[in-house]
Chains A and B, each alone.
Chain A
Amino acid sequence: AQSVAQPEDQVNVAEGNPLTVKCTYSVSGNPYLFWYVQYPNRGLQFLLKYITGDNLVKGSYGFEAEFNKSQTSFHLKKPSALVSDSALYFCAVRGNTNAGKSTFGDGTTLTVKP
């Protein structure tokens, strides 16, 4: 079985400061890892993914994530947070043998204060 843990329900940062949203995973085989963002009463939007290759993945809106195989982590980062980054963030994992079904974490609410 595959699983995702987002240990923080809430992350608060000041605008202009770096941000990190944590994610750890468990999966059989090689993992495919994803980050999504959700604004209130909207669907999820894809931010970035790790499939293979470089452990540092760059995505939309200046976000990036670092894959760490030994720690089974895929933390989302941004060097300088914006107030408009405030939203609900989801990490997801899919095993390469799991026929397209992803497992999502419970989400982390990011609040960026001016």
Chain B
Amino acid sequence: SQTIHQWPATLVQPVGSPLSLECTVEGTSNPNLYWYRQAAGRGLQLLFYSVGIGQISSEVPQNLSASRPQDRQFILSSKKLLLSDSGFYLCAWSLWDRTNTEAFFGQGTRLTVV
């Protein structure tokens, strides 16, 4: 069966520090991968979307970047965090060749920038 791992679960970082959040998927090949941010427990904002290794689509211009160095690995990064980067970050995957399939989410990372 497929599983998704996302870590760390919580993170407190000072303003101006770098960020690296990692997400890995097991049990499937060539998944579509996504990074979402959820502010204040409400709606999800799609940040990045990837359909393959090295292929990243940015949905919202901001202080963050994403990379996909391996088929089932998706990394969210920042060189210098801002206070506004605080939030709940969710990684998700879906089947690559099926636009009608649901997404499967990781457990999320609670990022607090202080």
Contact = CB atoms under 8 A, between A and B. Distances in A.
Interface stretch (A11-19, A72-80, A100-108): A100-108
Interface in A38-82: 41-46, 49, 51
Given A34-B103, A100-B94, A101-B49, 10 more contacts: A36-B105, A44-B44, A94-B99, A94-B100, A96-B99, A98-B99, A99-B51, A100-B51, A104-B44, A107-B42
Interface of A: 32, 34, 36, 41-46, 49, 51, 88, 90, 94, 96, 98-107
Contacts of A99: 51, 99
Contact of B108 (A43, A51, A98, A100): A43
Interface residues of B, number: 26
Interface in B81-105: 88, 90, 92, 94, 96, 99-100, 102-105
